[in-house]
Structure 1
Amino acid sequence: MSAHHPFRFPKPAWLNSANTRTAGVYAAGALFSLGFYCLIDIAVWSKSALNPSDPPVHITFVDWIPGICSALGMLVINSIDKSRLSADSFSYSGNGVAWKARLVLFLGFALLAGGLAGSVTVLVLKYIVREYIWPTLWLGVGNVVANGLVMLSSAVLWVAQNMEDEYTYNLAL
């Protein structure tokens, strides 16, 4: 078993290809776009005449807060240079680079998790507790779906960016 791999089986060769990395980046973009499409869809539908709820329920700023948190979390997570996470305190960048990068990464994941948890909270408190039926319930469910897609998009982009580092490293050898 190799000393630098934590797993017994090696990664498949297709994981290190540039095409797989490109497909991962496009998939992450598609998931992110689909998530924000869901947010825009529920916002437009809540203001339309087709909204059957009585009294009328509309999307307010409270419904947008989880999506904003998720988008900020994705930006924070994917703006971190991956090499900083394993840097030691003797690197050229100064003291404590690794723990600072890990702290920022943790805050990004906390924003993502907070966005998803916030959308579930809005769904339960604003739509389920008040016992709205399905067409109106989509306002809350769509918010959860949107935040879940943004979180999934962030994970796919993180993996795709890590593939790039290993791919360029293999090319350098």
Structure 2
Amino acid sequence: MIGNGDDMEGNRLFKFPKPQWLNSANTRNAGVYLSGALFSIALFVMIDATVYSNGRLNGSDLHLNFVDWIPSIFSFLGMLVINSIDKTRLSGDTFAYSGDGVAWKAKVVLFMGFAAMAGGLAGGVTVMVLKYVTEGATGMSLWFGVANLLANALVMLSCVVLWVSQNMEDDYTYNLAL
């Protein structure tokens, strides 16, 4: 029965168990590849908008310059920082990491990575509003700001997918690590 709680573990957060297929090596690999695809799409969108804005076909006075790239740079650096941290370093429960304060340092660095990514997304919104929306850009000129925002959002989504897929727990991986 669901209501009596006899079959439920005391330390679980949710009522329903997670599906077994979620912890397979194939799911983990698919997540890593999906993250790479999202990241490459983000980079393509940003480079495509830059090339088009500086080309002969752009008839407007609005062009992408370094100011437009700053939010993307922060998002890329945030993704690099977040995915460089091992999930086991975040818990201070193990004896190997609890004595020298590595868990606290890892949490601070992880927060800085998330702050960089959030700052990149907020910067993308700011650049789009201040540079393109208030200037009355339409059509492909407005696409430059939308591409910047889309690239930052895709980098954030890529980071989340990579973080989750790299840190899936599987009994097979623990047996190999022993």
TM normalised by structure 1 equals 0.92
- Within the candidate set 87, 92, 96, 1:92 is matched to 96
Equivalent position to 2:20, from 13, 17, 35: 13
Which residue identity lines up with residue 39 of structure 1 in the other structure?
M
Matches within 5 A, 1:41-56: 41-53=48-60, 56=61
1:4 is matched with which residue: 8, 11, 30? 11
Consecutive unaligned residues of structure 1, counting only runs of 5 or more, are none
1:52 deviates by 2.2
Please, which runs of 5 or more residues in structure 2 have no aligned partner?
Answer: 1-7
Are 1:158 and 2:155 counterparts?
no
Q: Which secondary structure does the structure 2 equivalent of 1:92 belong to?
A: helix
What is the alpha-carbon distance in structure 2 between the residues aligned to residue 113 and residue 3 of structure 1?
A: 35
* Deviation of 1:168 (Å): 1.9
* Cα distance change on mapping 1:9 and 1:15 into 2, 3 Å: same
Which of structures 1 and 2 has the bigger CA Rg?
A: 2
* Closer, same or farther: CA 166–143 of 1 in aligned 2, 3 Å: farther
Asked if 2 retains the 8 angstrom alpha-carbon contact of 1:78 and 1:154, the reply is: yes
Matching residue of 1:23:
30
The amino acid of 1:2's aligned partner reads E
Deviation (angstroms), 1:4: 3.2
Q: Tell me which of 146, 159, 173 is aligned to 1:168.
A: 173
Shift of residue 58, structure 1, vs aligned partner = 1.2
Contact 1:16 1:167 in 2 (8 A): no
- Matched to 1:71, the amino acid is F
Q: Percent identity?
A: 64
Aligned counterparts of 2:69 and 2:177: Cα–Cα separation in 1: 45
Tell me the SS of whatever aligns to 2:143. Answer: helix
- Alignment-mate amino acid for residue 92 of structure 1: A
Provide the rounded CA distance (Å) in 1 between the counterparts of 2:45 and 2:175: 39
Give 1:18's aligned amino acid: A
1:74 maps to 79
Matching residue's letter, 2:45: C
Q: Could you tell me which amino acid in structure 1 is paired with residue 76 of structure 2?
A: A
SS of residue in 2 equivalent to 1:163: coil
Looking at structure 2, the residues matched to 171 and 5 of structure 1 have their Cα atoms a distance apart, in angstroms, of: 26
Whether 2:38 is the aligned partner of 1:38: answer: no
Partner Cα distance (2:36, 2:67) in 1: 25
Which of 119, 122, 139 is 1:117 aligned to? 122
Q: 2:107 aligns with which of 91, 102, 111?
A: 102
Q: Provide, for residues 107-132 of structure 1, a one-character-per-residue CA deviation record: whole Å limited to 9, x for no partner.
A: 00001100000011000000000101
Query: How many residues are matched?
Result: 170
